Copies of this chain bind each other. A is one copy, B any other.
Amino acid sequence: MTTHRRKAGTRTPAETAASLAKSAAVRSGPSVGGREARRWLAEQRRRTVMDVRQIPLDRLTGWHTDPATGDLVHASGRFFAIAGLDVQRPGTPVPSWQQPVIEQPEVGVLGILVREFDGVLHCLMQAKAEPGNCNRVQLSPTVQATRSNYTRVHEGASVPYLEFFRRPSRHRVLADVRQSEQGSWFHGKRNRNMVVQVDEDVAVLDGFRWFTLREIHELFAVDDAVNMDTRTVLSCLPYVGPRLPEVLGTGRDPFTSALLRSCSGLEGGRHGMTEILSWITDERTRTVNEARRVPLKEVAHWQRRDGRITHASGLFFNVIGVSVTADGREVAAWSQPLLEPCDEGVAAFLAKPVDGVLHVLVHARAEPGFTDVVELGPTVQCTPSNYAVLPPAARPPFLDEVLHAEAGRVRFDAVHSEEGGRLYHARNRYVVVETPEDFEPDHCGYRWLTLAQLSRLLRHSNYVNVQARSLVACLYSMTA
Which residues from B are CB-within-8-Å of A178?
A: 281, 284-285
CB <8 Å contact, B277 and A3: no
- How close is A20's CB to chain B, nearest CB, in angstroms? 13
- How close is A189's CB to chain B, nearest CB, in angstroms? 14
CB <8 Å contact, B175 and A274: yes
Q: How many identical subunits does the complex contain?
A: 2
The B-contacting residues of A in range 218-237, CB under 8 angstroms, are none
Against B, the Cβ 8 Å flags (1 = close, 0 = not) of A247-281 are: 00000000000000000000100111111011101
Interface segment among A71-79, A154-162, A444-452: the answer is A444-452
CB <8 Å contact, B168 and A282: yes
Q: Determine the residue in chain B with the shortest Cβ distance to A270.
A: B6
Interface segment among A55-63, A296-304, A339-347, A435-443: the answer is A435-443
CB <8 Å contact, A446 and B13: no
Which residues from B are CB-within-8-Å of A270?
A: 5-6
Q: Is A64 an interface residue (CB 8 A)?
A: no
Q: Is A292 an interface residue (CB 8 A)?
A: no
CB <8 Å contact, B443 and A2: yes
Which residues from B are CB-within-8-Å of A284?
A: 178
Q: Is A192 an interface residue (CB 8 A)?
A: yes
CB <8 Å contact, B6 and A281: no
CB <8 Å contact, B10 and A277: no
Q: Is A1 an interface residue (CB 8 A)?
A: yes
Against B, the Cβ 8 Å flags (1 = close, 0 = not) of A1-26 are: 11101100010110000000000000
CA gap between A26 and B447 in the complex, in Å: 38
Q: Is A107 an interface residue (CB 8 A)?
A: yes
Q: Is A309 an interface residue (CB 8 A)?
A: no
Q: Is A238 an interface residue (CB 8 A)?
A: yes
CB <8 Å contact, B3 and A176: no
CB <8 Å contact, A448 and B3: yes
CB <8 Å contact, A2 and B173: no
CB <8 Å contact, B275 and A173: yes
With A2-B445, A12-B267, A444-B2 in contact, is A459–B169 under 8 Å at CB? Answer: no
Q: Is A411 an interface residue (CB 8 A)?
A: no
Q: Is A177 an interface residue (CB 8 A)?
A: yes
Q: Is A53 an interface residue (CB 8 A)?
A: no
- How close is A174's CB to chain B, nearest CB, in angstroms? 7
CB <8 Å contact, A443 and B176: no
CA gap between A7 and B443 in the complex, in Å: 18
Question: In which size bucket is the chain A interface?
Answer: 35 or more
CB <8 Å contact, B447 and A176: no
CA gap between A461 and B281 in the complex, in Å: 9
CA gap between A397 and B443 in the complex, in Å: 53
Which residues from B are CB-within-8-Å of A47?
A: none
The B-contacting residues of A in range 146-190, CB under 8 angstroms, are 168-169, 173-178
With A178-B284, A285-B178, A285-B192 in contact, is A278–B169 under 8 Å at CB? Answer: yes
Which residues from B are CB-within-8-Å of A273?
A: 13, 459
Which residues from B are CB-within-8-Å of A272?
A: 6, 10, 12-13
Which residues from B are CB-within-8-Å of A6?
A: 270-272
CB <8 Å contact, A277 and B107: no
Q: Is A27 an interface residue (CB 8 A)?
A: no
Which residues from B are CB-within-8-Å of A440?
A: 3
CB <8 Å contact, A274 and B448: no
With A12-B267, A285-B107 in contact, is A176–B278 under 8 Å at CB? Answer: yes
CB <8 Å contact, A279 and B441: no
The B-contacting residues of A in range 360-404, CB under 8 angstroms, are 361, 371-372
CA gap between A285 and B107 in the complex, in Å: 7
The B-contacting residues of A in range 181-210, CB under 8 angstroms, are 192
CA gap between A1 and B12 in the complex, in Å: 40
With A10-B272, A12-B267 in contact, is A2–B446 under 8 Å at CB? Answer: yes
CB <8 Å contact, A277 and B238: no
- Set B5, B282, B442: member contacting A1, Cβ < 8 A: B442
Which residues from B are CB-within-8-Å of A1?
A: 442
Residue pairs across A and B with Cβ atoms less than 8 A apart, 13 shown, are A1-B442, A3-B442, A3-B447, A5-B270, A6-B272, A168-B282, A169-B278, A169-B279, A176-B277, A177-B277, A178-B285, A192-B281, A277-B459
Q: Apart from A6-B271, A13-B273, what are 18 other A-B pairs with CB-CB below 8 Å? A: A2-B279, A2-B443, A3-B443, A5-B270, A6-B270, A10-B275, A13-B272, A13-B274, A107-B285, A169-B282, A173-B275, A173-B278, A174-B274, A177-B277, A273-B459, A277-B460, A371-B372, A460-B460
Closest 3 CB pairs of A and B: A176-B278, A173-B278, A1-B442
